[in-house]
C-alpha cells in the first residue's frame, strides 16, 4: 500500500529557531520529538524569497533562474511541472489547507479571469479543501462561528486586546491559543481526515499540504505564548554595532533599511522600522519565539490526530518553511538579500518505513528544491529528469551520496514591477534588480546584476559584518567564487529538453 503524504510549511520560520537546532531560548518539544522519529537536516536553505518565489522553487524543484517567479504576483509559467501534478499522476489527490501563492499564467485564462487580480493563486494540481487568503476571511468567520466577537475591521483581531500597537508590548490579542490561525487549519484537517473513513476514499492513500501562515507577521500571539519568552533573554542581535553600520556595508542594505515600515510587521504601528530601538526589537523577537512555540503546539495536536486516526504509521511527513526571517538581525526584519537568517530554514523528513535512521541529524547542505524529488522518490512516482533538486532519500537509508553538494545557492530579486521603487532609488534597470548567492562552509559570495558584489569570510566573520569584496587580499577568493557561481548557473539553466537529441533512430534521452 502506498504511504500517505503530509507536507507542512510554516511561513517565515528561521532555521535556528528550533530546540533541536540548539537555540538557547526557543522551545519546540513536538517538533524535536518529530525529528526523533525522522531525519533532521540542520543546514537546509530555501532558494528564493519572499513567499511566491520561495514556494515556486519548493513546488517545482527548480531554481529561480528557471521558474522566473521573482516576486509575489509573478505568474508561474504553465509549462512547469509541480509536486501536486506529479503526485496526481501517481494516483494521489493533493489537497490544500491554507495557501500556495502561485499566480496564474495569464496565457492560460481569459482576460476577465478573477485569478488575474491576485497573487494568491493555487498551485496547479492542487485540490482545495480550505483556501486562506491574505485577509484570513475563513479563519475570521470560524472565530465568529465560535462566538468570538470581532472588531471592525475584523483584521483588527491582530491588535493587542488593549488596542495599543506601538511601541510593541507583546500583549496578547482577543482570541485564545485554541483559536489561532494554526489551530483553525489543524481542526479543518482533522475534520477532513475523519470524513475519509466513509465513501469512495476508504483505503486510499492521501496527500495533504498544510500551509500554516505563522510565524509570519503580524507579530502577535495569545497566551501562554505571549509571555513565554522574556525579551531580555537570548543572544545579541547580529550585525554592526553602530546605528548605520549595516547600511554602510552595501547599497542594497541601505535601501532595504530605509523602506521597511512598521505596519508590515505589527498591525496598527506607524512609521519606519529603523525607528525601533533595541528594546522594541527584543520585544518583537520574544513575540516571534512565542509564535514559533504556538505552531509547535499545534503540530503536536496534528501528530495526535494522525495517531488517533490510525494513519501515523503509514504517513510520510515533511516539515519545512518557505523562507526565514531577519528578526532584528542587521537591523532588518522580513526575508531578503544575502543573509542566512532569511534563507536558512527547518527541514524534517519522516518516513515510517525506515526506522533505522530515525533520530539522525544531517549536516550536509540541502535545499528546498530537493523536496519535490524526495517526495516523488518516496511515493514511487516516475522521476523527473530535468529537476535541479536531488532526492534526499539516500540520507534516510545511509550517510548519503559521496558526490553530494558542498555549497548552497539562492537568488533574490528586488525589482518593483508595478511601482518601480527599487529601480528609482538604486538607479537600476528592471532586470538589474537581482542577486545570486553561493555559500559554503567558509565563504559567502553574492553577485549583483547592477550593484557591487558582497564577499564574507565566514571563518573569520561568522556574523557577516565585513564585506571584503574590495579587499585586495581577497581578490583571488572573489574571482574563484564568481567562477563557481557562473558554473552553477551554466549547469542549471533550464534543462527540460537539453538532454534529448533527435536521431534517425528516434529521440535519445541521455538522462534516462
**Catalytic positions, please?**
51
CA distance 408 to 411: 11
Query: What SS3 state is found at 57?
Result: helix
Q: Which residues are 212's β-sheet partners?
A: 10
Contact 272, 260 (CB under 8 A): yes
DSSP letter for 271, please: S
Contact 34, 303 (CB under 8 A): yes
The full 3-state SS of 372-434, as one line of letters, equals: HHHHHHHCCCCCCCCCCCCCCHHHHHCCCCCCCCCCEEEEEECCCCCCCHHHHHHCCCHHHCE
Q: How many CB atoms lie within 10 A of CB 124?
A: 20
Distance, C-alpha 433 to centroid of its chain: 21
Tell me the pairing of strands 454-457 and 443-448: antiparallel
What burial class does residue 175 get, using C-beta atoms within 10 Å of its C-beta: 0-12 exposed, 13-18 middle, 19+ buried? buried
Give start and end residues of each alpha helix (H) in 221-370.
Answer: 245-249, 251-259, 278-309, 340-343
Locate 501 and state its grid cell: 537529441
Locate 311 and state its grid cell: 494513519
Amino acid at each position: 500500500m502506498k504511504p500517505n503524504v503530509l507536507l507542512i510549511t510554516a511561513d517565515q520560520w528561521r532555521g535556528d529557531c528550533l530546540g533541536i537546532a540548539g537555540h538557547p531560548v526557543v522551545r519546540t518539544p513536538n517538533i524535536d520529538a518529530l525529528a526523533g522519529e525522522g531525519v533532521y537536516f540542520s543546514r537546509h536553505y530555501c532558494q528564493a524569497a519572499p513567499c511566491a518565489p520561495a514556494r515556486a522553487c519548493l513546488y517545482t524543484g527548480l531554481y529561480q533562474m528557471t521558474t522566473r517567479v521573482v516576486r509575489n504576483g509573478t505568474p508561474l509559467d504553465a509549462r512547469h511541472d509541480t509536486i501536486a501534478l506529479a503526485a496526481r499522476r501517481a494516483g494521489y489527490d493533493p489537497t490544500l489547507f491554507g495557501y500556495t501563492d502561485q499566480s496564474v499564467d495569464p496565457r492560460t485564462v481569459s482576460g476577465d479571469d478573477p485569478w488575474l487580480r491576485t497573487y494568491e493563486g493555487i498551485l496547479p494540481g492542487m485540490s482545495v479543501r480550505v483556501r486562506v487568503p491574505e485577509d484570513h476571511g475563513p479563519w475570521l468567520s470560524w472565530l465568529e462561528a465560535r462566538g468570538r466577537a470581532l472588531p471592525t475591521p475584523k483584521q483588527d483581531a491582530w491588535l493587542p486586546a488593549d488596542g495599543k500597537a506601538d511601541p510593541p508590548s507583546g500583549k496578547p490579542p482577543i482570541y485564545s491559543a485554541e483559536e489561532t490561525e494554526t489551530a483553525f487549519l489543524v481542526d479543518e484537517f482533522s475534520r477532513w481526515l475523519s470524513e475519509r473513513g466513509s465513501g469512495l476514499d476508504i483505503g486510499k492513500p492521501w496527500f495533504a499540504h498544510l500551509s500554516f501562515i505563522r510565524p509570519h507577521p503580524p507579530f502577535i500571539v495569545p497566551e501562554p505564548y505571549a509571555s513565554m519568552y522574556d525579551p531580555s533573554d537570548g543572544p545579541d542581535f547580529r550585525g554592526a554595532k553602530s546605528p548605520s553600520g549595516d547600511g554602510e556595508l552595501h547599497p542594497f542594505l541601505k535601501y532595504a533599511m530605509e523602506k521597511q515600515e512598521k505596519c508590515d510587521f505589527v498591525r496598527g504601528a506607524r512609521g519606519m522600522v529603523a525607528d525601533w530601538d533595541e528594546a522594541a526589537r527584543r520585544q518583537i523577537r520574544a513575540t516571534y519565539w512565542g509564535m514559533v512555540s504556538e505552531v509547535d503546539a499545534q503540530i503536536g495536536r496534528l501528530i495526535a490526530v494522525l495517531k488517533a486516526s490510525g494513519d501515523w504509521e503509514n504517513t510520510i511527513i515533511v516539515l519545512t518553511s518557505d523562507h526565514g526571517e531577519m528578526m532584528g538581525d542587521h537591523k532588518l526584519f522580513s526575508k531578503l538579500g544575502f543573509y542566512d537568517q532569511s534563507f536558512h530554514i527547518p527541514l524534517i523528513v519522516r518516513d515510517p518505513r525506515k526506522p533505522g535512521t530515525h533520530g539522525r541529524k544531517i549536516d550536509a547542505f540541502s535545499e528546498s528544491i530537493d523536496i519535490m524529488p524526495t517526495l516523488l522518490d518516496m511515493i514511487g512516482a516516475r522521476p523527473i529528469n530535468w529537476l535541479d533538486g536531488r532526492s534526499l532519500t539516500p540520507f534516510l537509508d545511509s550517510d548519503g551520496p559521496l558526490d553530494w553538494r558542498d555549497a548552497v545557492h539562492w537568488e533574490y530579486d528586488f525589482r518593483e514591477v508595478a511601482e518601480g521603487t527599487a529601480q528609482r532609488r538604486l538607479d537600476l534597470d528592471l532586470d538589474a534588480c537581482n542577486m545570486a548567492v553561493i555559500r559554503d562552509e567558509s565563504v559567502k559570495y553574492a553577485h549583483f546584476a547592477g550593484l557591487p558584489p558582497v564577499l564574507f569570510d565566514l571563518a573569520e566573520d561568522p556574523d557577516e559584518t565585513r564585506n571584503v569584496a574590495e579587499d585586495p587580499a581577497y581578490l583571488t577568493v572573489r574571482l574563484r567564487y564568481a567562477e563557481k557561481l557562473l558554473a552553477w548557473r551554466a549547469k542549471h539553466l533550464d534543462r527540460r529538453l537539453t538532454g534529448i537529441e533527435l536521431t534517425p533512430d528516434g529521440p535519445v534521452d541521455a538522462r534516462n
